[in-house]
């Protein structure tokens, strides 16, 4: 007995001939209610997957909790900002006072330096006037020494 003759009633002659693949399933599944249930289940599953995909497309990314702050968090940030602003303003005021003190010190040093320069210039002017008086007196006596006659 050949093996094809044994399998022919169970698998179908067309399957063994290679004409139509999977035709043997029609012989196995005779009850159509099972096929209907499988088809309905596949339909319901495809609708559920489509809804899940639609939800995934339209859902919020990032979540609203991560994107927006609460009033409590905003009030905390405001107080931190105020404290930081106050610290910055105090530091700026301290720097302004330091700069003002430095400018005043420089002005005092400039005034002292300029008064020293004026004192030296006054002493030089006094020395020059003494020299000028001596030169003028010497020039008046010069004709007397050279000619022997002195102007009166």
Mean pLDDT of the chain: 80
| Domain boundaries of the chain, sorted by first residue | 3-59, 69-147
Q: How many CB atoms are located within 10 Å of the residue 75 CB?
A: 11
pLDDT at res. 110 = 95
Distance of CA 22 to CAs 18, 19, 26, 96, Å?
10, 10, 8, 93
Please indicate whether residue 40 or residue 105 has the higher confidence score (pLDDT).
Answer: 105
pTM for this model (two decimals)? 0.40
- Tokens describing residue 79: 């107080």
Give the pLDDT confidence of 6-28 residue by residue, as tens digits: 444 544 444 455 555 555 555 55
Q: Which helix (H) or strand (E) holds 146?
A: helix 71-147
How far is the first Cα of the chain from the last one, in angstroms, to the nearest whole number? 178
pLDDT at res. 141 = 78
């Amino acid at each position: 007995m050949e093996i094809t003759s044994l399998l022919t009633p169970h698998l179908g002659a067309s399957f063994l001939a290679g004409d139509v693949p999977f035709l043997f399933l029609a012989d196995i599944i005779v009850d159509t209610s099972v096929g209907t249930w499988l088809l309905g289940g596949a339909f319901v599953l495809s609708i559920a997957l489509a809804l899940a995909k639609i939800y995934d497309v339209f859902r919020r990314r990032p979540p609203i909790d991560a994107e927006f702050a609460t009033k409590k968090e905003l009030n905390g940030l405001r107080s931190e900002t105020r404290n930081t602003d106050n610290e910055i303003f105090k530091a700026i005021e301290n720097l302004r006072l330091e700069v003002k003190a430095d400018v005043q010190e420089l002005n005092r040093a400039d005034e002292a330096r300029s008064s020293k320069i004026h004192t030296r210039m006054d002493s030089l002017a006094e020395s020059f006037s003494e020299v000028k008086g001596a030169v003028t007196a010497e020039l008046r006596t010069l004709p007397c020494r050279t000619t022997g006659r002195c102007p009166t």
